[in-house]
């Protein structure tokens, strides 16, 4: 077991970070507590257990800018993989962000300026396991975010790899080797969606889709060439996997925030946010999610939210994304 101090430029908005992690945590694979997150991270056949603890950083009196640290503990993987795991965690939590630079980019924007002033240290949620993020996104199409977590949890519980009490999300080869009907029945999704996940797994294995390089049109084109994956899903994955200029223009939250009636209008309105449109999108999603939380506190019962677009082609209505 090794422990590492991970520096980052403060401020860091811990409440939204915890909320978005909890909303996406795959049951059995990742768990989120008040002051940190714990999960398994696959690395070359090994199952690393990583724990991120931000309790000291959260409780200390951080200045509005400057260096701060959170603690990372790694267990279960040979030391030669430490640098790779540290890099994965930093990307996952967006710890290399420069909040001052981001704030300066958007502080005068009429839409984003007030949001940036309220949460200058907001981070873009990345991915601790690109394949897990991709499979979960496809499985979660057309269901609520809570429903998507349930589906990915079923996939992990049935086909995941275990080490003691720890579960690793099933690898692409595990999905391909499972009979399609078994996959569909275990997860509880329509056959078309189970087929879409399996097709994605095959594409990752044969190299026709490379999740490590999400920038540029080729990544989107290769994803959308697969049956069951549409433009919104491809753009959302690009955002989660590290493309800082990704912007899912078909997103309902963006349309509503910008007063836009079409994707073309969203593209025009967000053009000035380049090359950091992903951060702008996350600000709008965060505002919407926290507003939803306040509304649900004041009014019961809770109603589910739509999450992703349709399984294939264009969605029947603009997909809505929130934390």
Per-residue pLDDT tens over the stretch 223-258? 999 999 999 999 999 999 999 999 999 988 889 888
Tell me, yes or no, whether 17 lies in a domain.
yes
pLDDT-wise least confident of 161-165, 185-189, 207-211: 161-165
Contact 323, 285 (CB under 8 A): yes
Arithmetic mean of pLDDT over the chain: 88
CATH number at residue 57: 3.30.310.20
**283 in a domain, yes or no?**
no
In whole angstroms, give the CA distance from residue 70 to residue 92: 14
Whether the model clears a pTM of 0.85, i.e. scores above it, the answer is yes
Is pLDDT of 309 > 60? Answer: no
| Token output for 273 | 């946010």
225 and 145 share one domain = yes
pLDDT at position 296:
45
Establish if 112 belongs to a structural domain.
Answer: no
Q: Domain for residue 254, yes or no? A: no
Q: What is the DSSP letter of 293?
A: H
Residue 133 in tokens? 């993020």
Residues 77 and 139 in one domain: no
Domain boundary among 55, 79, 97: 97
User: What residues make up the domain containing 149?
Assistant: 130-240
Query: Which among 97, 118, 142 is the end of a domain?
Result: 97
Listed residues 73, 97, 121: the one ending a domain: 97
Q: How many domains does the chain have?
A: 2
Per the domain annotation, does 11 fall within a domain? yes
Q: Which of 2, 60, 9 is nearest to 35 (CA)?
A: 60
User: Per mean pLDDT, which range of 17-26, 56-65, 185-194, 273-282 is the poorest?
Assistant: 56-65
Q: Which residues contact 211 (CB under 8 A, 6 or more apart)?
A: 130, 131, 134, 204, 237, 241
- Quick one: 85 and 139 in the same domain? no
CA geometry: angle 226, 229, 233, nearest 5 deg: 140
Q: pLDDT (tens digit, 9 = 90+) per residue, 96-148?
A: 999 999 999 999 999 999 999 999 999 999 999 999 999 999 999 888 888 99
Residue 154 forms part of a structural domain:
yes
Query: What pLDDT does 98 receive?
Result: 96
Which residue's structure tokens are 């993020």? 133
Tell me whether residue 76 is in a domain.
yes
- pLDDT tens by residue, 249-293: 998 888 988 899 999 999 999 999 999 999 999 999 999 887 655
CA distance 295 to 145: 17
The CATH number covering residue 204 comes to 1.10.340.30
């Amino acid at each position: 077991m090794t422990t590492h101090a991970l520096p980052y430029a403060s401020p860091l908005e811990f409440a939204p970070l915890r909320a978005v992690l909890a909303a996406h945590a795959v049951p059995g694979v990742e768990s989120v507590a008040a002051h940190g997150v714990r999960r398994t991270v696959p690395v070359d056949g090994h199952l690393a257990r990583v724990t991120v603890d931000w309790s000291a950083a959260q409780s200390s009196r951080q200045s509005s800018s400057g260096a701060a640290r959170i603690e990372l503990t790694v267990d279960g993987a040979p030391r030669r993989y430490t640098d790779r795991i540290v890099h994965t965690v930093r990307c996952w939590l967006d710890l290399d962000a420069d909040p001052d630079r981001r704030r300066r980019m958007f502080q005068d924007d009429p839409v984003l300026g007030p949001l940036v002033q309220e949460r200058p240290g907001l981070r873009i949620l990345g991915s601790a396991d690109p394949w897990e993020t991709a499979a979960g996104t496809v499985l979660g199409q057309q269901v609520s975010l809570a429903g998507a977590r349930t589906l990915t949890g079923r996939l992990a519980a049935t086909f995941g790899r275990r080490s003691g009490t720890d579960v690793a999300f099933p690898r692409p080869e595990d999905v391909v080797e499972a009979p399609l009907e078994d996959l569909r029945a275990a997860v509880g999704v329509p056959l078309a969606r189970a087929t879409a996940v399996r097709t994605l797994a095959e594409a990752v294995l044969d190299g026709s889709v490379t999740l490590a390089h999400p920038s540029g049109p080729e990544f989107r084109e290769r994803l959308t060439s697969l049956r069951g994956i549409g433009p919104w899903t491809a753009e959302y994955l690009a955002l989660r996997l590290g493309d800082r200029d990704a912007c899912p223009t078909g997103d309902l939250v963006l349309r509503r925030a910008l007063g836009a009636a079409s994707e073309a209008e969203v593209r025009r309105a967000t053009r000035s946010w380049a090359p950091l449109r992903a951060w702008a999108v996350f600000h709008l999603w965060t505002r919407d999610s926290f507003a939803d939380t306040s509304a649900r506190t004041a009014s019961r019962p809770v109603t589910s939210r739509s999450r992703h677009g349709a399984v294939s082609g264009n969605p029947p209505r603009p997909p809505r994304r929130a934390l």
